[in-house]
Amino acid sequence: MTFTHVLVTGASSGIGRALALALAGAGVTLHLGGRDEARLQAIAAECRARGATAVTRAVSVTDAAAMSDWIEGVGPLDLVIANAGISGGIGGEGGGTVENEAQTRAIFATNVDGVLNTVLPAMAVMALQSADARGLRGRIAVVASVAAFLPGPGAPAYCASKAAVDSWVVGTAPSARRRGIHMTSLCPGFIETPMTATNNFPMPGIMSADRAATIMLRAIRLDMTRCAFPGWIAAGARLAALLPAGWREALAARFPAKGTM
């Protein structure tokens, strides 16, 4: 299955960049969003070298009006991937023991509001598109995380924000499907990206962004509602979440906290 009109947020690096390259090909139009215009132009050039038409938009997902204007103006969309996200933690310089207010608000503004600012306009656009033989008008995928399954004290705002969007996507999927829109929550484990580069603790099951993009696109094509991978990491996170809070905290204390971005 080839997607011919695709929009990706957070496309200038990490998973977003890998997804854009994996989707690029002859006859494909990619709408690539991100905050860094220079990096967007660089990935667009790589996509064009693979035969795709790549159009960039320097925009922050936290700007609801700008996101609506962009998404509503690009034309038909087969696939929208809400990938943009930021991380944080309590292990930065200064020895802080909790996420500060600005950091917490920034994480929720990007990871939750940013997803809504992407998905809601995309749903409105797709609802007006013609349905195919299966009654499908478009697909929307949201990049969450296996962190959604475990409230980690080392990065509480990040875990909570990913839990919120994963739960919202999975809960919204049935009603969206009745409108001809398939939604997928993508929950990867550790991926080799700038976001994980600050982690100074073991990252079991870590994989390349290219490998993650392959798994994600396969899940989207299979119309999965949720894809959590690697499976053993996702299962481990779910099991750990069942432990008493005190036990989880004692276990987490054995590892360094995540550094701030």
Residue 148 a catalytic site member: no
Helix (H, G, I), strand (E, B) or coil at 76: coil
- Spell 154-165 as b/e; 16+ CB within 10 A means b: bbbbbbbbbbbb
Residue 256: predicted pLDDT: 53
Contacts of 178 (CB under 8 A, 6+ apart): none
Q: What pLDDT digit, counting tens, does each position of 37-67 carry?
A: 999 999 999 999 999 999 999 999 999 999 9
Q: Which of 20-29, 109-118, 244-253 has the lowest mean pLDDT?
A: 244-253
The CA radius of gyration of the chain, in Å to the nearest whole number, is: 18
Residue 89: predicted pLDDT: 61
Cα distance between residue 95 and residue 169, in whole Å:
35
Judged against a pLDDT cut of 60, whether residue 206 lies above it is answered with yes
253: amino acid identity, one letter: A
First and final C-alpha spacing in the chain? 37
Q: What pLDDT digit, counting tens, does each position of 207-260 carry?
A: 999 999 999 999 999 999 999 999 999 998 898 888 888 877 776 665 555 544
| Domain limits, the chain | 5-252
User: Does residue 181 contact residue 127 with C-beta atoms inside 8 Å?
Assistant: yes
CATH architecture of 5-252: 3-Layer(aba) Sandwich (3.40)
Entry pTM: 0.90
Mean pLDDT across the chain: 90
Which structure tokens are listed for 248?
Answer: 């989880």
Q: pLDDT confidence of 95, banded at 50, 70, 90?
A: very low
Residue 8: predicted pLDDT: 98
Q: Which of 3, 158, 168, 190 is catalytic?
A: 158
Q: pLDDT confidence of 2, banded at 50, 70, 90?
A: confident
Judged against a pLDDT cut of 70, whether residue 9 lies above it is answered with yes
Residue 88: predicted pLDDT: 73
